Structure 1
């Protein structure tokens, strides 16, 4: 990731890739659990909701085209920062590209509505070139459009 110029290392900008694909399946999951807090010893109930979107890219990424995106709502959105600012990340690339992405609660509800109505069709993603199966996602577009732009 770095090159040596004289005695000083100079960081290279990460290679940015874009891929588009078609959504073939989705799944909505609600998870509730309780656990004892370590500090107070009281039981605390927590629940979570996430949308899993599956499909295939039109071009391969690291030799793989199938994707599995876990999308979840986040009340306090913040951009992640590694080598690029990010909205999510690829967690592994084989045998399927697996990624996690957070959306605002409003946008998450819109995506759930589109999925339930059977209108969720395409996914476009921009990300840094994967290293060891991982990489930051700088943008993601889920759309009801039947065509990839």
Structure 2
């Protein structure tokens, strides 16, 4: 390993130089990316910028609601994400659900089925169970699912 290669360092260098001032993605009084860049190591001081930004996003959960950019720097630990961000865990279907909360269980199952329908529509029907329509009948293969969606049947109007 010969250290970070240019293709690894350039994106971080661009982020550090442009995030606050040119792109105005984030106020400098909250987090100044430029402080993590210098001539000796233009790639964000070898991960220090990424770590500091991840810690900021965990320690200040209110930023998730104010700045969409904070949600891009998702911290890899599910438990921390669940505690610090109310929105993405639900969309990603990793939020904690009580076994006796029927509505939350229904919502989680609906999100899972919506994802499987999108997966089937984009990547084909290979390896997926047959979908069921609103009456519990087998909706058939991908062509039948697409036809049903076009007619307002299976999966139409579903939201995440």
Query: Do these two structures clear the TM 0.5 threshold for a shared fold by scoring above it?
Result: no
Give the TM-score band, short-chain normalised.
under 0.3
Name the structure where helix makes up a greater proportion of residues.
2
Q: Which has the larger radius of gyration?
A: 2
In the superposition, the TM-score normalised over structure 1's length comes to 0.19
Name the structure where strand makes up a greater proportion of residues.
1
